[in-house]
């Protein structure tokens, strides 16, 4: 089902206001979620609404929490998130990092006791939009099984980086696992076997059974997703595990927060994030540097293609193309997600017709997580 960006924006903002967030807070959360949909990363957009709602109901996410700076220097800060909404803690933190980069050249800000923050790339982009290099990392519920281990000990632990370039910025946002849990969920919903090289069963053997792997992750039985580089050192498993560690260090370790293997246990979330902003002008002429990067990116896009390949992408190009398409042609929302949106409206007392228009409700009722 297709909705315009404006429709979804109005709906999301009203939804978060109904959940108790202020107008500004609702706008901020909506902006993070919808950028994800506009960039074609549906797993982290609209479809998360029901999870956030449930997180609030369970007390994992505290609506009234405000981020608090507990340690600060001219180039750094640590923020206590007080179990608040991840997007609000993170926007606050990245704004602080940007402010520090504007005055000191660099700002690194870590957040502890937060919640799922959406796409890491949103915050890297905030810095990039301010003319800076931006980094964002987060830990999460443990899903990555370290090399030679059979228990998930690290999160999907994405690293995002963005930097100004023409005709569009360098924008890299990727989990340090081979794939994210969302990918496994899609295979599970479609009853398809997972590709080899993605997941491990509870004994640490390769598995293509999505349902079994997901069940084991939730029950903390063992098994999970492989680090980028797969299962074995021969294909670089220890490298993906190492990048996952960098995330953990810049989120939970430096903030004295909860490491991935201890988050989401006993009714406590505890997700930690890390943000950095760096002014390219601390290395010389920022415009010349931007041009230098732009030239290299163009060389990459124009390099000889592999036999049978259509196009060489630079990071961020797919997102820019998706954004342009969805702003023009609207955003396709999965019918199950629409069903959840309808149920949400009924639950909190928003008019479905006012916010989502006239819908084929029988279709939309099919598979809501509220049922």
Applying the rule CB under 8 A, the residues between 300 and 339 that interact with a second copy are 300, 303-313, 315
Q: Does 249 bind a second copy (CB under 8 A)?
A: yes
Q: Does 228 bind a second copy (CB under 8 A)?
A: yes
Q: Does 235 bind a second copy (CB under 8 A)?
A: yes
User: Is the preceding omega at residue 186 within 30 degrees of 0, hence cis?
Assistant: no
H/E stretch holding 271 reads: strand 271-278
Q: Does 138 bind a second copy (CB under 8 A)?
A: no
Q: Does 63 bind a second copy (CB under 8 A)?
A: no
The one among 9, 82, 215, 239 contacting a second copy by CB under 8 A: 239
Q: Does 200 bind a second copy (CB under 8 A)?
A: yes
The answer to whether 224 and 152 are in contact (CB under 8 A) is yes
Q: Which stretch binds a second copy (CB under 8 A): 1-9, 20-28, 274-282, 333-341?
A: 274-282
Residue with tokens 């640490």: 204
| Burial profile 23-53: b = 16 or more Cβ within 10 angstroms, e = fewer | eebbebbbbbbbbbbbbbbbebbbbbbbebb
CB neighbour list of residue 89: distance below 8 Å, 6 or more residues apart: 67, 79, 81, 111, 114, 115, 117, 273
The one among 222, 322, 323, 332 contacting a second copy by CB under 8 A: 222
Query: What is the distance between the alpha carbons of residues 257 and 89, in angstroms, rounded to a whole number?
Result: 14
The one among 46, 94, 161, 341 contacting a second copy by CB under 8 A: 161
Comparison of 69 and 348: residue with beta carbon closer to a second copy: 69
Comparison of 24 and 306: residue with beta carbon closer to a second copy: 306
Comparison of 203 and 329: residue with beta carbon closer to a second copy: 203
Q: Which stretch binds a second copy (CB under 8 A): 28-36, 124-132, 209-217, 251-259?
A: 251-259
Q: Does 98 bind a second copy (CB under 8 A)?
A: no
The answer to whether 267 and 59 are in contact (CB under 8 A) is yes
């Amino acid at each position: 089902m297709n909705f315009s960006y404006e429709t979804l924006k109005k709906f999301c903002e009203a939804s978060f206001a109904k959940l108790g967030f202020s107008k500004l807070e609702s706008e901020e959360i909506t902006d993070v979620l919808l950028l994800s949909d506009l960039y074609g990363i549906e797993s982290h957009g609209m479809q998360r609404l029901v999870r956030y709602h449930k997180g609030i109901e369970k007390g994992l996410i505290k609506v009234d929490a405000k981020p608090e700076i507990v340690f600060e220097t001219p180039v750094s800060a640590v923020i206590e998130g007080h179990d608040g909404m991840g997007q609000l803690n993170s926007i606050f933190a990245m704004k602080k990092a940007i402010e520090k980069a504007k005055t000191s050249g660099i700002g690194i800000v870590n957040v502890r006791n937060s919640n799922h923050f959406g796409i890491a790339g949103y915050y890297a982009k905030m810095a990039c939009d301010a003319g800076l290099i931006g980094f964002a990392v987060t830990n999460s519920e443990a899903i990555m099984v370290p090399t030679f281990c059979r228990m998930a000990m690290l999160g999907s632990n994405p690293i995002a980086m963005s930097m100004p370039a023409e005709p569009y910025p360098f924008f890299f946002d990727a989990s340090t696992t081979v794939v994210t849990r969302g990918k496994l969920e899609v295979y599970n919903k479609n009853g398809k076997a997972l590709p080899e090289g993605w997941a491990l069963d509870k004994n640490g053997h390769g598995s293509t059974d999505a349902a079994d792997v997901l069940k084991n992750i939730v029950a903390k039985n063992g098994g999970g997703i492989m680090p980028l580089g797969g299962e074995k050192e021969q294909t670089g498993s220890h490298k993906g595990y190492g990048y996952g560690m960098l995330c953990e260090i810049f989120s939970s370790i430096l903030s004295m927060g909860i490491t991935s293997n201890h988050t989401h246990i006993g009714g406590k979330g505890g997700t930690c994030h890390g943000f950095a902003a760096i002014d390219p002008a601390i290395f010389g002429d920022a415009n010349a540097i931007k041009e230098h990067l732009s030239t290299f990116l163009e060389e990459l896009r124009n390099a000889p293609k592999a036999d049978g390949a259509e196009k060489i992408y630079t990071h961020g190009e797919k997102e820019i193309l998706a954004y342009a398409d969805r702003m023009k042609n609207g955003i396709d929302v999965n019918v199950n997600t629409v069903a959840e949106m309808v149920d949400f409206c009924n639950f909190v007392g928003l008019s479905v017709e006012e916010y989502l228009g006239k819908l084929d409700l029988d279709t939309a009722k099919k598979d809501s997580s509220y049922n």
